[in-house]
Structure 1
Amino acid sequence: MRILIIAPEQIPVPPPVGGSVEHCIFQIAKKISSKHSVTIVSRWRSGFPKKSIHGHITIIRVPGSTKKAYLNNVLQYIRYHRYDVIQIDNRPRFIPVIRRTFPHSKISLFLHSTTFISPPMTSVRQAASDLKYANLIIGNSRSLRSYLIKTFPSQSHKVRFVHLGVDLHAFRPRKMRKAKGRSFVILFAGRLIPRKGIPVLIKAVKIVRKTVPNARLSIAGGTGDPSYRLHLRRLASKLKIPVTFKGYVSRRSMPRFYNSGDCFVCPSQRHEAFGLVNVEAMASGTPVVASRNGGIPEIIQHQRNGLLVTKYTSPSAFAKQILIIARNRKKAKKLVRQARIDVQQRFSWRLTAKQLTGIYASKR
């Protein structure tokens, strides 16, 4: 198959830092390209070539300071080519325009969250209008698939799901560090935005420190709102929580980040479609505590390969689970052993690519 992947207009592929969606695009494309012709069109930025070849992947980067300008530049390149499948990631508003240019190609919308099919990004009515021009709508979890079917029942026959994966070579366990005489490091990775629940985590660490005085917090991730980062710093200072804000961490450095902690926490407060950070932490041998939210329970099975928090708006509920990791080393080891096995069996990029191309090759 000749497969075209149209990335969002914000970050180049592969992303230098952050860019979870762009990272997923690149990792999936690498596996697909072993058997299929893959072209990625993404945003150009200074310092990046307009065209690059990565193995059997061709990446074209075009400028565009707005969605409209970016899409126009994408069309200028792709209109003279032919593709069997066109995958559009996270941009349903692109679908009608692409359909007019490619009336006979199979068009797939790959969604990584509910963000771009719901207010304030769009209305449900507008999203439904856009989705009718797609042949396939693919979510990254059963939870997202269920949301799509419930919200857009007229499009339910098009909806599929494919779990994301992890680079099992890059993200590997290290020996659990000895707790005696050193800090108990709690990790968070993700965008610094309200829905990620960082204030809940900071307050949870305050409670944890009553039992584990050497507990501290390390946060990787950036924000487009400096005032929110300042709010988090002030909250941590007010509660006297030792916290390190690392800012954006490069993809190459993320395995080292996961290996630097004793516990990883994902305190998402709103629907988390998949939660790639949890899979990466699990692959890295770091015990995970996460919200029982969205697609996260499809990855983490409570007391088997991690710990889930049902009352995820409650700092004390998170503190209770974090303390299990901090005080029961035997339990923590058992969780991380099973987590690594589960990730190897269920969440590799090879498996993601196999399932996705199986869907694309289907005549349905």
Structure 2
Amino acid sequence: MSPTKVAFVTPGSFPIPSSKSSSVERVVEKFVPLLSPVIEPRIYGRASRNLSKKGKVANVICERYPASNKAVYTRLVGQAIRRFAPQIIQVENRPVMVTRLKAAHPGKRLWLNLHSTTFIGPRYISRKALRKSLLASDKIIVNSEFIRGEVEKRVPEAARRLRVVYPGVDTGRFISRFSPEGAWRREEQRLLKGLYGRKVVIFIGRLIPLKGVHHLLHIVPQLAMRHPELLVVIVGSPFYGSFRKTEYSLSLERLARRCHGTVRFVPYVPHPEVADWFLSSDIAVVPSGQREAFGLVNVEAMACGIPVVATSAGGMKEIIVDGHTGFLINPDLLEMELLERLDMLLRDTALREDMGRNSRQLVEQKFTWRHTAEQWLNVLHE
């Protein structure tokens, strides 16, 4: 019996593979190849001058099309899917594409994989169109129980279609600081990055208000008074793959000037460099707002063996075990609790290391790309 053919349709925002893509493309790039040979997958994505129109991502064929006009992109992908003739079409994070592809491919099973709440919001899709898209989906995969709840609130009739499949992390790239290789690389990177002798608290992500970096910077002066060796490293920019600044990112720089050399900004870095930044650090902070669906940075930091202090918001409370792999803080008392928890961790080396080991262990048990692939296949085999 031939394996089930499945088409994975990315939004067309970034090419695959790319070191500058968003988490949507990264999830597809990492877990889809692990589905072979149980299924025959094919990926559809954005064209790039540096990539052939048709190539391979690991062992999976990837077809690439111009995506500056989304309607044209959807039409071209739809034509390519017809040639492939899959049994299932999975749309990544764009509900608006579901109904278009459903109309163009009657009789095919349409799945929707939601990576965030952004594209089910009124800015991108009306409530009526969202309901139509969700009810046209045979399965709706979400990356957290948080998103499951958000979808059910908006379209209760879609509840029976929902399945949670957690994203993962490449534990071969994001190595533990407690492994021999990780310990050596941590020392090397701390020297190269000028971090030696500092207690490093790191934020990695987009510099947008939702991510809450301003809360971290508000408490740095108090934290630095208690810990003179403190260094807060902010890695990221407002936009993926760009060094452009916004009024918000400029306001963060103004806040940092009050911290007298305790804060270092590192502009956007390609994803392959993220692991070394986490490995070089002591604590990761994720002070995001309520809409943080999952947050791959949480599991990436944990894989490197460092504790994470994050808000108890969105899907993050499904990742971090409070008091065991890090701390979850009340969003309503964010700055007060963030100061307390960071102070506690900076004072206690043994606590940081225990939580770091626990973090790595939890990732290996639950949050690898192999786990993601297995969960997806479970949905297929229901």
TM-score when normalising by structure 2: 0.90
Between the aligned partners of 2:88 and 2:333, the Cα distance in structure 1 is 41
Confirm or deny that 1:309 pairs with 2:309: no
Between the aligned partners of 2:166 and 2:34, the Cα distance in structure 1 is 14
1:341 counterpart SS class: helix
Between the aligned partners of 2:47 and 2:346, the Cα distance in structure 1 is 45
Q: 1:248 pairs with 268, 280, 288, which one? A: 268
Partner of 2:84: 81
2:309 counterpart SS class: strand
Confirm or deny that 1:158 pairs with 2:181: no
1:154 counterpart SS class: helix
Kept in 2: contact 1:184–1:326 (CA 8 A) = yes
Partner of 1:104: 107
Partner of 1:352: 372
Partner of 1:218: 233
Task: Please tell me the residue identity of whatever aligns with 1:197.
Answer: G
Residues 199-248 of structure 1: per-residue CA shift (max 9 Å, x gap) = 01111222211211221221222223622322221221144353332222
When residues 353 and 81 of structure 1 are mapped into structure 2, their CA distance, relative to the original with a 3 A threshold, is same
Residues 51-89 of structure 1: per-residue CA shift (max 9 Å, x gap) = 112343001111121322321221232222211211111
Runs of 4+ in 1 over 4 A off after TM superposition: 175-181
Kept in 2: contact 1:9–1:66 (CA 8 A) = no
Partner of 2:131: 128
**TM alignment of 1:256-335, pairs within 5 A:** 256-311=276-331, 314-335=334-355
When residues 313 and 87 of structure 1 are mapped into structure 2, their CA distance, relative to the original with a 3 A threshold, is farther
Kept in 2: contact 1:99–1:133 (CA 8 A) = yes
When residues 248 and 18 of structure 1 are mapped into structure 2, their CA distance, relative to the original with a 3 A threshold, is farther
Kept in 1: contact 2:9–2:44 (CA 8 A) = yes
Residues 245-290 of structure 1: per-residue CA shift (max 9 Å, x gap) = 2222222211111111111000001221111110010010112111
Partner of 2:252: 232
Partner of 1:64: 67
2:26 counterpart SS class: helix
Between the aligned partners of 1:116 and 1:260, the Cα distance in structure 2 is 34
Kept in 2: contact 1:201–1:267 (CA 8 A) = yes
Partner of 2:201: 186
Task: Please tell me the residue identity of whatever aligns with 1:266.
Answer: V
Task: Please tell me the residue identity of whatever aligns with 2:214.
Answer: P
Q: 1:339 pairs with 347, 359, 367, which one? A: 359
Residues 313-335 of structure 1: per-residue CA shift (max 9 Å, x gap) = 63232111111211011111111
Kept in 1: contact 2:19–2:270 (CA 8 A) = yes
Offset of 1:22 from its aligned partner? Answer: 0.5
Kept in 1: contact 2:16–2:57 (CA 8 A) = no
Partner of 2:172: 169
Between the aligned partners of 2:126 and 2:101, the Cα distance in structure 1 is 20
Offset of 1:120 from its aligned partner? Answer: 1.9
Offset of 1:311 from its aligned partner? Answer: 3.3
Between the aligned partners of 2:90 and 2:29, the Cα distance in structure 1 is 13
**TM alignment of 1:23-62, pairs within 5 A:** 23-62=26-65
Report which stretch shifted further, 203-212 or 118-127.
Answer: 118-127
Cα RMSD, aligned residues only:
2.0
Q: 2:148 pairs with 145, 150, 158, which one? A: 145
Between the aligned partners of 1:136 and 1:12, the Cα distance in structure 2 is 25
Between the aligned partners of 1:35 and 1:204, the Cα distance in structure 2 is 50
Task: Please tell me the residue identity of whatever aligns with 1:341.
Answer: Q
Task: Please tell me the residue identity of whatever aligns with 1:205.
Answer: V
When residues 288 and 45 of structure 1 are mapped into structure 2, their CA distance, relative to the original with a 3 A threshold, is same
Q: 1:14 pairs with 13, 17, 36, which one? A: 17
When residues 336 and 96 of structure 1 are mapped into structure 2, their CA distance, relative to the original with a 3 A threshold, is same
TM-score when normalising by structure 1: 0.94
Partner of 1:115: 118
User: Which ranges of structure 1 fall in alignment gaps of 5 or more residues?
Assistant: none
Task: Please tell me the residue identity of whatever aligns with 1:61.
Answer: R
Between the aligned partners of 2:313 and 2:83, the Cα distance in structure 1 is 44
Between the aligned partners of 1:215 and 1:182, the Cα distance in structure 2 is 9
Kept in 2: contact 1:268–1:312 (CA 8 A) = no
Between the aligned partners of 1:197 and 1:223, the Cα distance in structure 2 is 12
> Structure 1 vs Structure 2: percent identity of aligned residues?
32
Paired residue total: 362
